[in-house]
């Protein structure tokens, strides 16, 4: 297997443009702290990784229809400088405006995504449509990384409602195994047991499980991208996120049951590290169930002969 970056001039140019975009996004985050956001880095890095994957088939070589242009490079730099200046000005003025936190957060969120737009000027406008069509699947996958990676804001927004559902679910399931279990509602619901009380804080929302799923699922995509059915991949991605949320609820159930029926001290000592083991195991179970469904029919048919 060989790298398409080494063999294909077009992909070499694309890789260089993505590296320039990653470097510019880093400068933006450093110069304007309000732009701090990991999602553009993950999206650009994921797209770059897809382009750099070893080729499993013979490549159809494409001579890049464009050369590196210092004019486009200068415009690229100027646009990033403009985003930095705009961010510094907007963040300063909106912070001083009382009662405008919603407007400010919306403006800053938009500016965080604007750091990706200058990348377009590295390519002639006449090539945008062709590139969008040729790499549409990779671009869509990177867009999902951009908008769904590390959904901290979403978790913070829904936590007042989600915490109540999570507390009630854990109480109902745990009550089948622990006699005398009590429930104290609130922003951080508490389950009172004969040996151990468990409070469900925001850190128990399952965000770590979602992050771990995204990383591991991304590794699977990079390894088997050529052999996967892309529509099923999209379905499996959202199904996997839901599965990790459910797995997190069952994780808390296990803490309540083990803490009250086996050893409260063991739960207190190992519940953080055990969480990573639990989430990794949940991902492996999910992958075991869904992997063959994700593979193309031709790949599944030939897999026994490997």
94 and 196 together in one domain: no
95 and 189 together in one domain: no
173 and 274 together in one domain: yes
Looking at residue 306, its pLDDT comes to 38
140 and 167 together in one domain: no
Domain boundary at 119, 148, 177, which? 148
Q: Give, for 168, the enclosing helix (H) or strand (E).
A: helix 152-174
Domain boundary at 118, 148, 178, which? 148
41 and 127 together in one domain: yes
Sign for the pseudo-dihedral over CA of 253, 255, 258, 264: negative
Strands (E), the chain: 182-184, 190-192, 198-199
Domain total for the chain?
Answer: 2
Looking at residue 120, its pLDDT comes to 93
Q: Which residues have a Cβ under 8 Å from the Cβ of 283 and sit 6 or more positions away? A: 212, 213, 216, 217, 240, 244
Looking at residue 54, its pLDDT comes to 65
Looking at residue 65, its pLDDT comes to 60
In this structure, the number of other CB atoms found within 10 A of the CB of residue 250 comes to 14
Contact 15, 5 (CB under 8 A): yes
pTM (2 d.p.): 0.80
179 and 291 together in one domain: yes
Q: Which two tokens stand for residue 191?
A: 């389950």
108 and 187 together in one domain: no
72 and 183 together in one domain: no
Nearest one of 151, 187, 173, 197 to 246, comparing CA atoms: 173
Q: Which two tokens stand for residue 69?
A: 């242009």
9 and 120 together in one domain: yes
117 and 62 together in one domain: yes
Nearest one of 245, 236, 166, 164 to 210, comparing CA atoms: 245
- Tokens 């499996």 label which residue? 236
89 and 167 together in one domain: no
Sign for the pseudo-dihedral over CA of 120, 123, 126, 127: negative
Domain boundary at 148, 173, 201, which? 148
Contact 152, 207 (CB under 8 A): yes
Instruction: Output Rg (C-alpha) for the chain, integer angstroms.
Output: 24
226 and 125 together in one domain: no
Q: What are phi and psi of 142, to 5 degrees?
A: -70, -35
Tell me the pLDDT of the chain (306 aa) as tens digits.
455 555 677 888 889 999 999 999 999 999 988 788 888 999 999 999 988 876 555 455 555 566 778 899 999 999 999 988 888 877 665 554 444 445 555 566 666 788 899 999 999 888 888 889 988 999 999 998 888 887 887 888 889 899 999 999 999 999 999 988 999 998 889 999 998 899 999 988 989 899 999 999 999 998 889 889 989 999 999 999 999 999 999 999 999 999 998 888 888 777 777 788 889 999 999 999 999 999 976 655 554 443
Q: Domain of 84?
A: 4-148
Rounded CA gap, 137 and 234, in Å? 11
Rounded CA gap, 255 and 261, in Å? 10
């Amino acid at each position: 297997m060989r790298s398409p970056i080494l063999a294909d001039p077009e992909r070499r140019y694309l890789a260089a443009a993505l590296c320039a975009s990653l470097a510019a996004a880093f400068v933006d985050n450093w110069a304007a702290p309000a732009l701090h956001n990991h999602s553009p880095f993950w999206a650009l890095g994921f797209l770059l990784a897809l382009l750099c994957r070893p080729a499993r088939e013979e490549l159809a070589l494409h001579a890049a229809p464009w050369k590196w242009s210092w004019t486009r490079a200068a415009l690229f730099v100027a646009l990033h400088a403009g985003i930095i200046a705009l961010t510094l000005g907007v963040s300063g003025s909106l912070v001083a405006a009382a009662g405008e936190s919603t407007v400010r957060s919306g403006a800053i969120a938009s500016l965080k995504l604007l750091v990706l737009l200058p990348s377009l000027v590295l390519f002639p406008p006449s090539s945008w449509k062709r590139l969008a069509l040729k790499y549409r699947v990779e671009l869509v996958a990177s867009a999902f990384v951009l908008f769904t990676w590390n959904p901290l804001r979403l978790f913070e927004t829904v936590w007042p409602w989600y915490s109540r559902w999570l507390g009630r679910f854990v109480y109902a399931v745990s009550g089948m195994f622990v006699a005398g279990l009590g429930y104290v509602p609130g922003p951080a619901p508490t389950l009172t047991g004969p040996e151990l009380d468990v409070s469900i804080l925001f850190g128990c929302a399952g965000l770590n499980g979602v992050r771990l799923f995204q990383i591991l699922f991304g590794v699977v995509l990079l390894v088997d991208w050529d052999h996967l059915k892309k529509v099923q991949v999209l379905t499996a991605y959202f199904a996997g996120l839901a599965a990790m949320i459910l797995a997190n609820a069952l994780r808390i159930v296990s803490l309540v049951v083990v803490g009250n029926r086996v050893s409260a001290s063991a739960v207190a000592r190992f519940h953080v590290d055990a969480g990573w083991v639990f989430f990794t195991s949940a991902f492996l179970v999910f992958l075991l169930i869904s992997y063959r469904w994700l593979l193309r029919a031709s790949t599944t048919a030939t897999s026994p002969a490997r």
